[in-house]
Structure formats: structure tokens, C-alpha cells
Structure 1
């Protein structure tokens, strides 16, 4: 296949990029590689260098070195909605035999499961294909594999979308200097509240802050009898899963990752980025999709616009709480970020 321009959707975690990736995936030409980059070896997935096919295959099939790391050992208990493999976490088996480190490969759990009805054979075929690739630049290995997946899915254009990827713009530019970045942003309060309710973000923050449950359990107290996918979950893990986490760390996450992303976006040309708010997609989806399609050089026929818009829940924005104290807290942490994001977005109000 002819080499194509790299296209990325970036943003903070919980910014709405999951639903946008599903909308874009309905386009007849587009293969969305959802959560692909964060599904790989988190230390070695970036950084331009020459790499063999064998080593690149190892980045793809990396066990617990992926973005979710050791949390994949309790993927059944985290019950994250992004996982589509075998119908979601409720249908995943308790044990994982034959996969590295005894965990499901992350590219199997999310990106391949979104692209293919039967992703397991595709995963094994992909790894075998990657192993045969010659020694070449890391960026070329990515391009070959992404375009291979495009062809396998019967599509012609790939768009990579990973949650929380806004802080990766600089290293992605090192790999793909010509890349286009759609920057999806969302009200920081809504993002932080969504993170606070999302099992993965909450448990990860519980560990990071070294919190302690009411019955005296810290993350460091858990061992292999707790950190597994067997049902029901252990009492100690259940205690951690129930424990609340304050909102402030999530607002800090939004602020810090956004500021890092904005610093990188400042280096891009106007042709390389476009900022779109999640709220705009929710309120005027067809208009927003036409703008996104224009940016990425895609057609925007009515059939796609209708089917993509139908994925949205129009009541979602109305359900988001508007507590004055929480709003003041969000403005304290993220007021500068929102001011700068609106300056990037020509459609911002």
C-alpha cells in the first residue's frame, strides 16, 4: 500500500475520545486504531531508532509492560467499558493461558477487538507478520503494521486514538513529522468526575497516593491472592475498589497533561492540528464530524453522519452536575488550560 499521512486523535483521559473513535470507525474508509499506542510496551514504544521485526513484535506483545501494566491482572474486576474482546470484561475467562505474563495482550483487548469480529487469530497473524519485518526505523515498522491492519479490516485510512495521549504529541512528531493531530478536549470538571468514577483511574490513583481504606488496606498490602481475575474478587481488593479518591488529583492530571500537550501543539502548523470540544460533538454532531472529516481529508456522506450521530446519548450533557463549589475548584486547577484551548478552537464560544 502507498504510505499515507499519519493521523491521530489526542486528548486527556476521559475526554470523549472513545465515543469519537467509534463514530469515526463507522466511516467506510477509516480503520480506527483505538488505544493502540498505549497498548504497547510503555517504555520502548516511542523514540525513533532502528528496530528489528522480532523486537517490534515484542513491543506489540509485551505482557505487563503495556500501558495498563500490572492492572491487567485484575482486568475482569476493573470492568472498564473500553474492553470489547469476547464481549467485554463480564465475558473474559478467569485465567489467561498461553499469553505473555499470564495477561491478555492489550492490543487484543481493545484495538483489535474494535476492528475485527474475531480478533484472536488476527493478533497471532499480526505478531507473525511483525516478526518477519526487516530492520528499519521504528516509524516505518508502525506504518507497515498500521497499513497492514487497514487492509485486513477492508479500510484505506488509519487513525490512531489513545486515551490520555495528548502528552505524547512531541514523541509522535519525532516518528511522524507530517502527522495531523485532532485535539479533542472537554470541560475539565466533567473529565475529572469521569476519572473519579472510572475503576482504572480510581485504582491507579489510590495506589499513586498510597491511600488506606477504612479497614487499613493499602495497595502494597495486596498480593497474588488479590491481584488475579478469579471471581469473586478478594475482600482486600474489594475494599480498595470501594474506597473513594478525592477529585483534586484528577484535576491535576487534566491540567498537567493538557499543558504538556499545549506546549507541543504550539510547534505545529495550522494544517497539522485542529481543536474540537466534546461538548460541540454532543450538541452539533454532524457539523463537528464534517469539520473533522475536512481536517483529515475524508468524505462526509449523510449515511455516515447519520449512523455516527446515532451513537450519541443526547442526555449526557444534561446529566453532568453543575455544583458551584466543584466548578470553582475546576477553574482553580484548569482555568488557564481552558482559556488556551478555547483560543485554539475556532468554534469555541
Structure 2
């Protein structure tokens, strides 16, 4: 079995930067947004179908990993929406584009670890299709072990933003893994999501569908079909209105705070050698010490000098930023505080 570590986070907690740092370490294979990416197009009924005890053969497993869907991200990027996490470079010669559809693993995971994701994708297809019929947990272990061998690494580290939403499934599928809980003041998490254009766009699309039963991206729809959200339609899209769109604290904010609390409670049940807590505020204030503690936790017995070199290289990635939630109007501040109170107490925030 391959050595494995999961970085669990609520998103907007420096987790993408941490994946970039993991990618610098010569012994670590950084699987950035792997599980979120392959579930991006999943329906609500089968939202986490790839994180279950299902038994699939190699053909079915690859069919799931390589599933393509029309991707609207490139279009909205051209309209001015920031999608820094989307790494796949669409060119005239790229294997995938808006017309062909883009597999989730090509959006972030594969371009994160190689400059030639198209070739890696094709090689993976040849390998995975020959996997024997087995439980999904074993199929992922086969795939990640193959990647470890290919890139000559020792430990794979998977990090998905919002992995707090499926931490129970990860624990069930990979009970022997190590888990790093990267957490932040939940109030600031929620504030950050309300500045994250890509996420706000997704939430606006979700609201439009819930209100109308229609998708703004459907060519058979008209802007006027969506009322106050008509600006979502490609014919009338407005970045300015996207920036003004707010995700209510009582909906997503409450769900996020509850998931953070649940994650802390469920990870507390694991043996101490399997869990490491990493506080975002402490990380950006003192990156060298906190990165040293992190890599010591992950270390698979290699020379510590390698870790020290990595710490020096990775530490400048993190810089502290002032909190924004205290700038809210008093009524909004109280609402946010009430929603987050249980999680804040559990994580020792005052």
C-alpha cells in the first residue's frame, strides 16, 4: 500500500498555496484538487459516487476519471472572471477544449504535476483500463502508486478545497492514511468565499436553476428567463454584477461552519499519529516552524536535511493578511458570529 496523506480544509484557507509548496518537495506527489475535480460534474444524487465502496473494473474506473463535460470556465475567463485554480492550457493543439469537453482531472490535478498533461492523460488511460475489478479505494491506491513510481516519489498528498464535505468518506476508504486538518477562522473563510469569483458564479448558477429549473448556459434559454439573475446568461454576463452577488450567511455560511465543526469532531477520534492540526493564522505568521512540523508529520523516513531545504524554499509562499470580517456592519457581524460560534469555540478562536 502506498504512503498517503490527506490535507482536509474548508477552502480559502491557503490550501492551494500549500499544494504548490507540497509540489516543491522531492519526495511528495501533490494531488491538488483530485477528488473535487473528478466529482465536479456529478449530479446531486450521485455527488460523491467516486468516494464509495463500489466495485468497478478498470474500464469503468477510467470512464469515471475521464468523464468530459462542456466547460464554461474558459468562456467566463474571457469575460473577466478569475479562475486561478484552472491550470489546463487550452490551445489549438491541446487534446481538450470547450467543444470536446474537459475531464475534471485535466482542469487542475494533472497540469499541477506535469507540463505535459495530455501525454500523462493518455498514459494513464492505458494503465487504468487494465486494472482488475476491485473496490474503489484499491483502485485509487493502484493509480496513485503508479503515479508515485512514475514520478519517483514516496508519499502522495491529496488536497481538495472543501474536502470537509466528504471527510467521512475519506476516513472510511483510507483508514490508515494520515490527515492534516488545515483550518482558519471560519468567519474569514465565509468572507473569502464571498470574494471568490469562481465560487460565486457556481452559487449563482445553482440559485438560478433552483428558482427556474433552467440552466443559464443552455442555448435554448433567454436572459429574461432568469429575472434578477439575467446577468448570468452568456449574452448579458456582467462581472460587476457577479462581484455584487452575495452568498447569504444563513445558507452556505451555516453549512460551512457546521462542516468545519464536524470535521474537528470526527478527526479527534483518530489516533494522534494519524492527525496533524495546521492553523492558517499560525502558518502565515510563522511559516518556517509550521511547515517544519507539517513535513515532520508526513516524513516517511527520508533525510531531514531535505525537509529543511524544502522549508526554506516554501516558507516565502505565505504572508499574513488582515482579517476582513471585523469591517462588516454590526448587524452582519453579529449574524456571522452566531453562525460560526460553535466551530470557533471548538477550534479555540475567541
Q: Is TM > 0.5 for Structure 1 vs Structure 2?
A: yes
CA deviation profile, 1:133-156 (whole Å, cap 9, x unmatched): 111221111011112122222322
> What residue in structure 2 maps to residue 84 of structure 1?
87
124-133 or 264-273: bigger deviation:
264-273
Instruction: Determine the C-alpha separation between the residues in 2 that align with 1:236 and 1:163.
Output: 30
CA gap 1:97/1:156 in 2 versus in 1, 3 angstroms: closer
Q: Which runs of 5+ in 1 are unaligned?
A: 87-91, 228-232, 343-347
Deviations 1:270-305 (A, max 9, x none): 222122111111011011111111221254633211
Contact 2:5–2:298 (Cα < 8 Å) also in 1: yes
Which one of the candidate residues 23, 28, 32 is aligned to 1:34?
Answer: 32
Q: Distance in 1 between matches of 2:196 and 2:93?
A: 23
* Counterparts of 1:307 and 1:250, CA distance in 2: 36
Distance, in Å, in 2 between the alignment partners of 1:243 and 1:133 is 48
Summarize the alignment of residues 154-193 of structure 1 with structure 2, pairs less than 5 Å apart.
154-193=152-191
Aligned pair count?
Answer: 322
Q: 1:95 Cα shift?
A: 11
Q: Deviations over 1:38-84 (max 9, x none)?
A: 121443211113210001101211224xxxx9655756354311122
Give the TM-score normalised by structure 2. Answer: 0.81
Query: How far apart are the structure 1 equivalents of 2:340 and 2:235?
Result: 37
Distance 1:34 1:71 in 2: 21
TM-score of the pair, normalised by structure 1: 0.81
Q: What residue in structure 1 maps to residue 327 of structure 2?
A: 323
- What is the distance in 2 between the residues matched to 1:59 and 1:211? 25
Q: Give the match's secondary structure for 2:31.
A: strand
Gapped runs of 5+ residues in structure 2?
222-232
Matched, 1:334 2:336: no
- The answer on whether the counterparts of 1:8 and 1:179 sit within 8 Å (CA) in structure 2 is yes
Post-superposition Cα deviations, 1:97-135, rounded to whole Å, max 9, x if no partner, equal 767983211211211111001111101111221111111
Over 3 Å counting, the alpha-carbon distance change for 1:221 and 1:20 in structure 2 is closer
Name 1:234's counterpart in structure 2: 234
- Further displaced range: 23-32 or 244-253: 244-253
1:47 corresponds in structure 2 to 52
Distance 1:22 1:33 in 2: 10
2:186 and 2:92 mapped to 1: Cα distance? 36
> 2: CA distance between counterparts of 1:211 and 1:174?
33
Q: Which residue of 1 aligns with 2:262?
A: 260
Contact 1:274 1:295 in 2 (8 A): yes
Task: Confirm or deny: 8 A CA contact 1:7 1:160 kept in the other structure.
Answer: yes
Question: 1:310 aligns to what SS in structure 2?
Answer: helix
- For 2:136 and 2:247, the matched residues in 1 are separated by 40
What is the match of residue 56 of structure 1? 61
Correspondence for 2:294 = 292
Shift of 1:13: 2.1
User: Alignment partner of 2:277: what SS?
Assistant: strand
